[in-house]
Structures are given as structure tokens and as C-alpha cells.
A and B are shown apart, each in its own frame.
Chain A
Amino acid sequence: MNYQTAHWGLIAVDESSTVEFPEGLPGFEECRGFVLLQHPEHAGLVFLQSLERAELCFLALPVRAVRPDYSLALSGEDTALLGFPEDGQPVLGSDVLALAILSLAEGRMPTANLLSPVVIHSRTRRAVQAIRPDQRYGCREPLEETVCL
């Protein structure tokens, strides 16, 4: 199916590459469908493009590209929403993909939201922005120099 986007023009999106947020994202609750795009000019970056709002496109990095030792902490609620047993933790990499949304603004250090990563079930592609129940990371963590090589 084709979608009009503000930054990429018309893109052809295969059903198998879409991601569904049953509850949207905080601030964008009505946005349920997204597609993950990568662009050769920024090969390490992931663009989270909304299928409902042409102009909405988040920039993200896999959490371990930001912090190589990042470990997930999902609430029971989020684990269940993704379709995993509520008392377990899905494995990063095999069960789920986790992305940190980036904030970039002219003249300011880029930051990554490690408090609430976007966690995507690798098989069903159900997704949730999972707010960590602990305070181990913040939502404006500076990007280490190594990411920007």
C-alpha cells in the first residue's frame, strides 16, 4: 500500500513492515500505525514514520546503539500488551526490538529517550512505548560521541 509522507514523499509499504501501537504513543494516542524506515545517508538511524499523519516521523536509534549495556525493564502491563507472559521479561534482540526516540534541535546536544523506549514484538510487530518502572535512565540522555561517528 502507498502512503504519502512529508519527508519521504510517496512510499510503498508492505504490510509486513508496519508496526501497530494499540494505544498510540503518549501525546500521539491516535497514531496507531507506523513503519520503520532506514535511509542510506543515515544508515544507523531508524525513522519511525506515522501512517496516519504524513508529517509525523520520529528519529530513533536501537537502545544498544546508544548504551551498549542497556537492559530492558518492562512493566507487567506493557509485557502483557505485547503478548508476552506478564511475569517475564522479553529478550532484547530475539523477542523484541527496542528503539530510543531522539530529540534533535539546532544548537543543542542530541538526546535519546532511554526512559521510555519503543518496544516492538519482533514477530507480531505489536508495539508500545514502554515507560520503565525504575529510574535507571532518563528521557533526555545525551548521546555518547561514539554514536555520532
Chain B
Amino acid sequence: MLVIRRHPGESILIGGEIELEVIECGHNRVKLGIRAPQHIPVMRAEVKATREQNLAAAQSISGGAIPAGLGRRARGGPAVPLLGGGPA
């Protein structure tokens, strides 16, 4: 990994198209500005992990893999809304 020291107001260029500027340096966090072409997705690393996890989780219900013991078993019936409203 390339490590570079920068002061607030200074930037780094990546591939000529991406500019990373250190805007502010606080006590335990850094504020960065990123300038990149539209086609390059910019996101926080945790968002990427969450995104991948969501895409995988979306398959959970169709896999038919809900363990029988997950959630308390009761007699069959319609699915009901959790907030407000009554049963469908």
C-alpha cells in the first residue's frame, strides 16, 4: 500500500481522472473530497460490504432454506403486517 502524508487542502491524483482532497483533519476522523468521473462508483467500504450482503440476503427466501426452528412455530395462516393495519 502506498502511504502519503497530506495536509488539509492538499490532494492526491489517481490515474489522472480521480482527485482525492483532504478537506479537514479532526480529532479522530478525516473529511475527504473525491472528484471522479460519473462511471466510477465511489462509496464507503462498509457500504460495499453491506451491498454485497444485501444481494446475498435477497436470495434467502427463495432458497427454501428457512430452518424450521427459526422463529416460533404456530398454526399456518396469512402473513400479517407488523406495523399498523390488520391482517391481509
Residues of A within 8 A of B (CB): 6-8, 11-19, 25-28, 35-47, 55-59, 101-106, 110, 113, 115-116, 120, 125, 129, 131-132, 139-140, 143, 147-149
A19 to B61, CA, bound (A): 20
For A13, the chain B residues whose CB sits under 8 A away are 81, 85, 88
Residues of B within 8 A of A (CB): 43-44, 46-67, 69-77, 79-86, 88
For A105, the chain B residues whose CB sits under 8 A away are 56, 59-60, 63, 65
For A55, the chain B residues whose CB sits under 8 A away are 62
Q: Are A17 and B82 in contact (CB under 8 A)?
A: yes
Q: Are B81 and A139 in contact (CB under 8 A)?
A: no
* A113 partner, pick from B43, B50, B62, beta carbons under 8 A: B50
Q: Is the interface of B mostly helix, strand, loop or mixed?
A: loop
For B51, the chain A residues whose CB sits under 8 A away are 26-27
A102 to B53, CA, bound (A): 9
Known: A37-B80, A115-B46. A58 touches B60 (CB 8 A): yes
With contacts A101-B54, A103-B56 known, what are 14 further pairs, Cβ within 8 A? A11-B79, A13-B88, A17-B82, A27-B55, A40-B74, A58-B57, A58-B58, A59-B60, A104-B63, A106-B63, A113-B57, A115-B49, A129-B50, A139-B49
